[in-house]
Structure 1
Amino acid sequence: MKQIKICPYCKKEFTTDKNARKFCKKRCAYLYSKKKAKKEKMYLCQWCAEKFTSGRRKKFCREECRKNYMKELGYVYKNVKHIPMKVTLYDAVTKSKEEGITYGRYISLHKIR
């Protein structure tokens, strides 16, 4: 059954046989969603609890807060150089078995890294 609806973006009347259809064209749907996304909303910074406005969903008010949050989580940046182990993995596993402890406990006890 055909229905007459009004497009929320361009306000033109259009006919449709689909109940879920809201816009007359895909272009109107795209422009409407873009317009709606640009509206600034109030957010609360997850690091310093400061209120800030943004056009898109953000967790932090400044780059500094984001970096501090990542450091607190123990986030490892990609540009950090890898520190090689002093003992090979094979040697560490065999020595841990000789001592009768797990590999992880052996590494932490002997501070191999």
Structure 2
Amino acid sequence: MEPTIAFPVLAGLVVVALFFDFLNGLHDAANSIATIVSTRVLRPQYAVLWAAFFNFIAFMFFGLHVAETVGKGIVDVTIVTPAVIFSALVGAIVWNIVTWIA
């Protein structure tokens, strides 16, 4: 891929990935926070902050084991193209929306 095209493609993938991350967090927030709020352990605002904080720092305690495993031979890096990454993200976004609506 030419360098003049590579940056816009990378920026587009980052935007789609951030949209997926936001949508996935929105989709899973009810599952991760509902028990804490319904039992009145924490107020909703504190429960959301609590979950966001621990989701953000989890890698410090649990490491990057899944990413390392995938990067060391499970996935053939020669077939992972921007189109494959985009397709996987769009598929995950559609799955989140379908399961959210249903």
Could you tell me the TM-score, scaled by structure 2's length?
Answer: 0.29
User: Which structure shows the bigger proportion of residues in helix conformation?
Assistant: 2
Could you tell me the TM-score, scaled by structure 1's length?
Answer: 0.27
User: Which structure shows the bigger proportion of residues in strand conformation?
Assistant: 1
Rg bigger for which structure? 1
